[in-house]
Amino acid sequence: MTQKIVIDPITRIEGHAKITIEMDDQGFVRDAHFHITQFRGFEKLVEGRPFHEMPSLMARICGICPVSHLVASARACDMILAVHVPETAINLRRILNLAQLIQSHALSFFYLSSPDLLLGMDADVAKRNIFGVIQSNPQLARDGIRLRQFGQQVIEWLAGKRIHPAWVVPGGVSAPLSAENREKILAAIPEALATIQRTLDWYKGVLDNFREEARLFGNMPTMFMGLVSPDGELEHLRGKLRIVDAVGNIVADGLEPEHYQDYLGEAAESWTYLKSPYYKPMGYPNGMYRVGPLARLNIINRCGTPYADQEWAEFRQLERGAVLSSFHYHYSRLIEILYGIERIEQILNHPDILSKKVRAFAGPNKLEGIGMSEAPRGTLMHHYKIDENGLVQWVNLIIATGHNNLAMNRSVLQVAKHYVKGEKIQEGMLNRVEAVIRTYDPCLSCSTHAAGQMPLNIELINSGGEVIDQVIRG
């Protein structure tokens, strides 16, 4: 008898993801699938729109990381304009993107994951949330709020709005940075820096308590992919793709984002609407790779800022090759926050940062544009084709969560194999399946966990389709 355990829905906001765990006759887990059954159709929605509207339209895909879509889209549009975007504009976009990264990572770490980390995976669900964190470690909760605020505040100082700013436009940005706002950001940096350093110290102290999770949460050999600067440093806005294998060797370097179709394939599976990208030369599914903060820290030669470089060196000591456990996405996020704060300061001290020349104007000079950037969750790719009047004809997007699709499935399977035995659904298993998904911080887990646990509906189904066990939580 084959049994199927269905966990559904895994989230509230985009509450259309569920998990099925298939069991064999002996009651052992055979396979696990993380389904995304929601189809938003943004690609279709924007057909026929003038391409200048694209950055703002695309930003609407996500309320947590709109800026990531904004910059990736603007990069694609820059290519359509075929102009030289002023360096200052690139740097301003860079700050915006980093500010977004900081606030998104802070959300993921402090609001969504710290309850598990601080109170333990098996703590009472009524307490295992941000309010529980506030009670048991108010400093940590406050730090999370402050860091998130820092990121959002920088976005507002630059772009005039925290959510969905329209400041990033094809060809650059719509307004220069004022001297006053530059000062404001610089003044906020020391506190942000101290905050993240305090958090890192705390986290490194408790890391040892999670040896089991680190061993079981997506701890598997895969490749890692992300953008790097020409010197092999962290780069979230421009740069070229690098792919590194599980041992840490560079598999491919200097891959041009424009030619992604040559080396990235997109497989479609019947159990999910999310496409599963893979590295073509290795075939499917062997070409599985991970993206996001963990991947970025695995592919670089160094971060490129002093404090982050120190932390990075320590981080890489965790394993001899690449750091393989997805559990360490959490750790990577903290290091990236540190890097982001330092880098913003570096960029703000650039002599041209207040330059008024922040935009290049042009019509559509090319009929196709591809923009790639590193979003908080990983490599984000926007690809547009337009007609000669500038109306969008075709769009393809590869979102960060998509790149991680294969890896997320593997991770769920790994956890399920270890924690699911017999015909009963066990509470500890649920929390861990939930937690392993959360290490990837997939978009669909967006704001769900901020105020409580993920609503879950798990069913144990036998081969005849009957429900033999059920747990509903929500």
Partner 1 sequence: MSPTVRVKTLTIDGQAVGAREDQTIMQVARENNIFVPALCAIEGLTPVGACRLCIVEVKGVNKLLPACATRIEEGMEVTTNSERVANYRRTILEMLFSEGNHICSVCVSNGHCELQTLAKKLGMTHVRVPYRSTMRRVDASHERFIADPNRCILCTRCVRVCDEIEGAHTWDVMGRGINSRIITDLSQPWGDSDSCTSCGKCVNVCPTGALFEKGKAVSEMSKRQEFLPYLTLMREGKK
SS3 239: coil
Q: Counting contacts by CB under 8 A, is residue 391 touching partner 1?
A: yes
Q: Counting contacts by CB under 8 A, is residue 385 touching partner 1?
A: no
Q: Centre a 10 Å sphere on the Cβ of residue 452 and count the other Cβ atoms it contains.
A: 17
Distances in Å between the alpha carbon of 104 and those of 101, 229, 319?
5, 22, 26
| Closest listed residue to residue 19, CA positions, set 400, 378, 444, 422 | 444
Which of 56, 103, 219, 453 binds partner 1 (CB under 8 A)? It is: 56
Q: Based on CB atoms, which residue is closest to partner 1, 66 or 287?
A: 66
Distances in Å between the alpha carbon of 237 and those of 56, 92, 153, 228, 384?
17, 11, 20, 9, 18
Q: Based on CB atoms, which residue is closest to partner 1, 57 or 291?
A: 57
Q: Based on CB atoms, which residue is closest to partner 1, 49 or 182?
A: 49
Which of 15, 16, 30, 52 binds partner 1 (CB under 8 A)? It is: 52
Site string for partner 1, 59-98 (x = CB under 8 A): -x--------------------------------------
What is the per-residue burial (b if ≥16 Cβ within 10 Å, else e) of 337-359? bbbbbbbbbebbeeeebbbeebb
Which of the stretches 94-102, 217-225, 300-308, 389-397 binds partner 1 when contact is defined by CB under 8 A?
389-397
Q: Given the DSSP bridges, would you call strands 289-290 and 264-267 parallel, antiparallel or unpaired?
A: unpaired
Which of the stretches 56-64, 145-153, 324-332, 340-348 binds partner 1 when contact is defined by CB under 8 A?
56-64
| Closest listed residue to residue 168, CA positions, set 93, 239, 78, 87 | 93
Q: Centre a 10 Å sphere on the Cβ of residue 94 and count the other Cβ atoms it contains.
A: 19
Which of 5, 11, 17, 55 binds partner 1 (CB under 8 A)? It is: 55
- Which residues are within 8 A (CB) of 274 and not within 5 positions of it... i.e. 6 or more apart? 36, 401, 402, 405
Q: Based on CB atoms, which residue is closest to partner 1, 54 or 348?
A: 54
Site string for partner 1, 215-234 (x = CB under 8 A): --------------------
Which of the stretches 50-58, 113-121, 216-224, 344-352 binds partner 1 when contact is defined by CB under 8 A?
50-58
Site for partner 1 in 315-374 (CB under 8 A): 361-363
Site for partner 1 in 128-187 (CB under 8 A): 164, 166, 169-170, 174
Left (φ > 0), alpha (ψ -120 to 50) or beta: where does 39 sit?
beta
Is the Cα torsion angle 429, 434, 435, 436 positive or negative in sign? positive
Given a contact cutoff of 8 angstroms between Cβ atoms, the answer to whether 186 and 153 are in contact is no
The CB-of-167 to partner 1 minimum distance in angstroms stands at 9
The CB-of-388 to partner 1 minimum distance in angstroms stands at 9
Q: Counting contacts by CB under 8 A, is residue 49 touching partner 1?
A: yes
* CA 71 – CA 382 distance, rounded (Å): 10
* CA 449 – CA 326 distance, rounded (Å): 19
Q: Counting contacts by CB under 8 A, is residue 389 touching partner 1?
A: yes
Q: Based on CB atoms, which residue is closest to partner 1, 43 or 345?
A: 43
Q: Based on CB atoms, which residue is closest to partner 1, 26 or 389?
A: 389
Q: Based on CB atoms, which residue is closest to partner 1, 169 or 338?
A: 169
Which of the stretches 13-21, 47-55, 83-91, 227-235 binds partner 1 when contact is defined by CB under 8 A?
47-55
The CB-of-171 to partner 1 minimum distance in angstroms stands at 9
Tokens of 330: 């959490």
Q: Counting contacts by CB under 8 A, is residue 41 touching partner 1?
A: no
* CA 91 – CA 172 distance, rounded (Å): 10
* CA 251 – CA 270 distance, rounded (Å): 30
- Residues of the shown chain interacting with partner 1 in the complex, contacts defined by CB under 8 A: 48-50, 52-53, 55-57, 60, 164, 166, 169-170, 174, 361-363, 389-391
